[in-house]
Amino acid sequence: MLINPNQKRVVNVDGVQLSTVSVDCVIFGLEGDELKVLLIQHDEGPVEGQWALPGDYVKFDFDLEEMPSIVLKQLTGLENVFVELFDVLGKVNRVAHQRVITAAYFALISTEKYELKKGLEARDIKWVDIHNIPDLIYDHNEIIKKGYEALKLKLRTEPIGVELLPKQFTLTQFQKMYETILDIKLDTRNFRKKILKEDILIDTNQKELNVPYRAPNLYTFNAEKYDTLKAKGYFLNIY
């Protein structure tokens, strides 16, 4: 390994200048009727004690594209999580003392069981309401803001919100998920009419158990049906 005190001046064999590349993950989850983001607290180094987005540097032998999944696995133990790129940030001085280009991904994790693990380099880890994010290191507040905008935009063109729900969910949960993320109120009758006509939900004919009132029906997402619709150029617009 070559250690270079001045990373900014390193070039490769072709004279091409090199950069540090990282990934940052805006991990969304639903808790009750709040949309939350997962944050970690750095344990050492120049940003010790400060809160930040989970992320990692891109290693030689890993595809950039697999890095977000690795980060997710480390933090939650979850695999096959929905992850999508939404931005790349590469201003020269976005990170102090180092030039770091970062790929920003958002991830949606469902309200099912997982165990938060802070990892070796973090002192703490927690969920924070999207509307109440503390001051984070570097441009991470800006990244979250863009990630939230990307999520809202995407939610209006694709029903990716199901990724935030358990495998089986009620129509009430489904509606509240849209209301929470988009910060709007929807008419229940019209919402259900529209969603059921879209035919992307499957009625499991099962009812939620152990509720102290009328037991709601459970649905699952019809991914195959949705994929064929999508292939024909389809949008689910909910306002």
Interaction site with its own copies (CB under 8 A): 1-21, 57-65, 85, 87-92, 98-99, 101, 103, 153, 156-157, 233, 235, 237, 239
Tokens of 138: 């570097």
Given a contact cutoff of 8 angstroms between Cβ atoms, the answer to whether 194 and 165 are in contact is: no
Rounded to a whole number of angstroms, the minimum distance from the CB of residue 93 to its own copies is 9
Tokens of 118: 């802070």
214 is a contact residue toward DNA (CB under 7 A): yes
Q: Choose among 39, 15, 18, 44: nearest CA to 27.
A: 39
Residue closer to DNA by CB (options 42, 192) is: 192
Residue closer to its own copies by CB (options 29, 147) is: 147
Q: What is the DSSP letter of 63?
A: -
Region 134-163 residues binding DNA, contact defined as CB under 7 A: none
Q: Which does 228 bind (CB under 5 to 8 A by kind): DNA, its own copies, none?
A: none
Looking at the DSSP bridge assignments, the partners of residue 105 are: 25, 85
Q: In this structure, are strands 34-42 and 51-52 parallel, antiparallel, or unpaired?
A: antiparallel
237 is a contact residue toward DNA (CB under 7 A): yes
Residue closer to its own copies by CB (options 17, 188) is: 17
What are the φ and ψ backbone dihedral angles of 25, each rounded to 5 degrees?
A: -120, 125
Tokens of 94: 């976005």
Residue closer to its own copies by CB (options 18, 211) is: 18
Q: Choose among 168, 172, 211: nearest CA to 188.
A: 172
Rounded to a whole number of angstroms, the minimum distance from the CB of residue 35 to DNA is 19
List of residues contacting DNA (CB under 7 A): 170-172, 187-190, 192-194, 207, 211-217, 237, 239
